[in-house]
A and B are shown apart, each in its own frame.
Chain A
Amino acid sequence: MRLALVLAFMFVSLLMGCERQEEFTPIPKRMKVLISINIKDGSVTFFDLKREKKYAQWELGQPIQGGVLLNNGSTLLLYGHELDRAYEYNLATGKMEKEWKTGKGIISALVSNDQQHLLLADQNQKAIRIFHMNGKENGSIKIGSQPLTLLQNSTGTRVYAIDFQDEKAAVIDMEKHQVTHTFSVPKFALGGLLREREQELWVGGHGSGSSVETVIHIYSLPSGTLMKTIPAPEMPVSFAETNEGIFALSHGSNTVRKWDHAGEEKASITVGANPFVMIGESHYLYVASYDSNEVTVIDGRTLQVVQRLTTGKGPFQLMIREEG
């Protein structure tokens, strides 16, 4: 009996040991990388932006849905609503550093501007949960059922949480940790662009039922009233604003549209296959195509495709880690 217990213990510790020892290709600190989180095969692809090619791919094989860079980009936290914990990996070593016992239901994450807090949107608790960087939960704010889109103002005092299901957006005061007010948005709203100078919030979405969203809703920041809509068929879900202008990605029509800073449409390009996410960085736009497993690099000024990079299966989130 005793021997059996000892053997079982050894077996379990061996298993855990194996799991812990999982190690991926380290990502050098001094490398500027584009990170693609791929949800079909549960992998993370790293591209060396200077050499403009794939550097590594971590095959996690876990149902991850998204990620967020912590500690000034030295660690990467990966989460998924089916996972009962989030995994924090040290990029420089390729090893897992910490497991965050979050419970299931995490659908999005945001790091506060001061790098002190992590906000995790939890669809099970219907709340935004606030964590210290050491992993300790510091409180939570009750909110709608699926706050998929989280946006933060430049001073870090306010967070805008756009709900996917409940047809509303909430404004959260980060000092008081409470919702100050809410306003209505369309059902299945997704993606947003905060333009503080213009006091505008651009909100995209999928549209509900069989009708698909064809416009971008622009709300006034102070009041939350709908100012106007801009046509962007079909299903604008991702936004970026760079020096070159404002960009919106419509995944239903595989289109990237460009507006100037005054809000006038300038150009558009058909790109990728069912792309869900776009980020902008200085001159370039990076568009991840969910169906064709690639990232298309577009010149923000001319809207010309510059390069295509192959990712893992089902790229769903993009981020850039600056060189440290």
Chain B
Amino acid sequence: MRRKSMTLVQKIWLAMSLVVIITVLFSYFLLNYFYQNLYVNKVEQTLIEEGRNLASDYQGGPITEEYRKRVEWYNEKTTSEVLLVSNPRELSACLPFQIDYDSLISEADRQKLLEGKVVTKTGYEKRFGRKIMGVIVPLLDEHRLQGVFYLYIPLATIQEMTKEAASIWIPLAILFVAALLLFGKKMADRLAGPLKEMERVAYSMSQGDYEARIPTQANDEIGRLARAFNVMAKAIHEEDMRKREFLANVSHELRTPLSYVKGYSEAILAGMVKTKEEETKYMKLIHREAGRMERLVRDLLDLAQLEGKSVPLQKVPLVFSQVIEDTLAKYEPFLHEKEIQVVADLSPEVIVEGDGDRMEQVIHNLLDNAIRYTPKGGTITLQLFEAETHSCCFVIRDSGKGIPKEKLPLLGQRFFRVDQARTRAEGGTGLGLAIVKQIVHLHGGTIAFASEEGKGTEVSICLPMWDDQQHEVE
């Protein structure tokens, strides 16, 4: 059986409670200790001072009646008990003899007093029948212990004061602890609130609800975590949307050629085709649509490979202008057919590190697009030049009708077409630019689009140059 674990709130609260209670207890004992010590010490010091002051009046010789009377007067006025003891018996003067008498001063005390030292006593004193704090100050006439001042106050007085302090302190401490514990509970709830909300949202996301968000105000760690969680939820939501869109696009793209193939083949099978020419025409249409589907599937596969990085790039140093020219050569018939003029300004010194086939694919797709959108007798301009240090740019410009500004950011997305109806007829898959974008990214480069409606579109690709070669050239 699993042990029931504590919640975070309980743990935080428990930790806070423990800290509060331990602190309060510790401070109580510390307070008591210092109170006792400092106060008792203070009392002791005061008594010693008082005793010494009284003793300073003693001029030597036997204790006179007058002196005794003055001390008695003082004793009545002062808060402590002051005794002037001069009875040799009480001072243990007869000690070597076994006199059965419990002297006020013990032999050890007498020895100290004879040396002029003050004796202090704390605890039960039989003579007074109670606990006292007392000091004994000697009255010495040379080596003669003529008497002592015995000053004391009952310890009960000190303990009463401690009790009095405790009677104020303890209820205050209890109130303080209770308030702190309540505050701690609130604090813990406040800390754990967003966490609980996160838990709830995560569960609802697992049920397919990507719209839920955590309300956050705080800017602390938990607030930031909640915000990061929201960003993540948004990203998942967008990814989910993209996935749905993609599936919709793919099925849509496949449906059109499929319906052609199905329709024409049904027509042939139903014997609706009368002449050989007609049959050939239908077969050509079916073949064309099959080709479209093949291209679509091939492009999808390409894109999947590029995005999944399942086929690594075979990077080698490439003379970029050569790649461009080779590809351009393949398009000679089409260009000729459409009477398109190509103006190429390609720097032969530009060398990039890249996968030859992939780079060719990039040029291929871009040229494909350019030719497709350039009207008969138009111009395509190609430029390759070194941009900054370690990078080069390839710019391809057509003289087509251009792209509306608001659609520029959408270029490069899968299945995005500027003119849906027309382009599908033109035979593009809608994946060409997406593939280009992916390949350029994989090569560490950037792609940018610029267009002016009616004048043409410009695509710029910037790629890092091959470093070592660069050094050798320099």
Contacts and interface: CB of A to CB of B under 8 A. Distances in A.
B84 to A, nearest CB: 15
Nearest to B110: A291
A276 B94 CA distance: 9
A95 to B, nearest CB: 28
Given A235-B88, A273-B145, A314 B99 contact: no
A188 B145 contact: no
A291 B96 contact: no
A231 to B, nearest CB: 15
Residue from A188, A209, A314 whose CB has the most chain B CB atoms within 10 Å: A188
A209 B87 contact: no
A85 B97 CA distance: 20
B114 interface: yes
B89 interface: yes
A292 interface: yes
A90 interface: no
Contacts of B142: 273, 292
Given A234-B88, A235-B88, A292 B62 contact: no
B143 A291 contact: yes
A210 B89 CA distance: 6
How big is chain B's contact interface, by range? 10 to 19
Given A188-B97, A188-B99, A206-B94, A212 B143 contact: no
Contacts of A148: 97
Given A188-B99, A253-B62, A291-B143, A274 B93 contact: yes
A188 B88 CA distance: 14
Interface string A179-200: 0000000001010000000000
A73 interface: no
A207 B143 CA distance: 23
B219 interface: no
B96 A164 contact: no
B128 interface: no
Contact of A210 (B101, B114, B144): B101
A290 interface: yes
Contact of B93 (A65, A208, A210, A251): A251
A39 B107 CA distance: 14
Contact of A212 (B88, B96, B114, B145): B88
A108 B142 CA distance: 31
Contacts of B88: 212, 234-235, 251-253, 274
B292 to A, nearest CB: 118
A254 B144 contact: yes
Interface in B313-330: none
Contacts of B143: 272-273, 289, 291-292
Contacts of A274: 88, 93, 144-145
Contacts of B61: 270
Interface string B245-268: 000000000000000000000000
A164 B101 CA distance: 14
A276 B61 CA distance: 19
Interface string B139-158: 00011110000000000000
A252 B93 contact: yes
Nearest to B90: A210
Contacts of B94: 188, 206, 235, 251
Contact of A190 (B87, B97, B101, B144): B97
B98 A146 contact: yes
Q: Which of B61, B96, B144 has the most CB of A within 10 A?
A: B144
Interface string A227-248: 0000000110000000000000
B96 A290 contact: yes
Contacts of A47: none
A316 interface: yes
Contacts of B97: 148, 164, 188, 190, 206
Interface in B101-147: 101, 114, 142-145
Given A251-B93, A292-B143, A206 B114 contact: no
A209 B101 contact: yes
Contacts of A207: 89
Contacts of A270: 61
Contact of B96 (A39, A235, A252, A273): A39
A39 B94 CA distance: 14
B89 A206 contact: yes
Given A273-B114, A314-B96, 5 more contacts: A65-B96, A209-B101, A210-B101, A211-B89, A235-B93
**Cβ-closest 6 pairs across A and B:** A292-B143, A273-B143, A252-B88, A273-B144, A206-B94, A274-B93
Interface of A: 39, 65, 146, 148, 164, 188, 190, 206-212, 234-235, 251-254, 270, 272-274, 276, 289-292, 314, 316
16 contacts: A146-B98, A164-B98, A188-B99, A206-B97, A207-B89, A208-B99, A209-B89, A235-B93, A251-B94, A252-B93, A272-B144, A273-B145, A274-B88, A291-B144, A292-B144, A316-B96
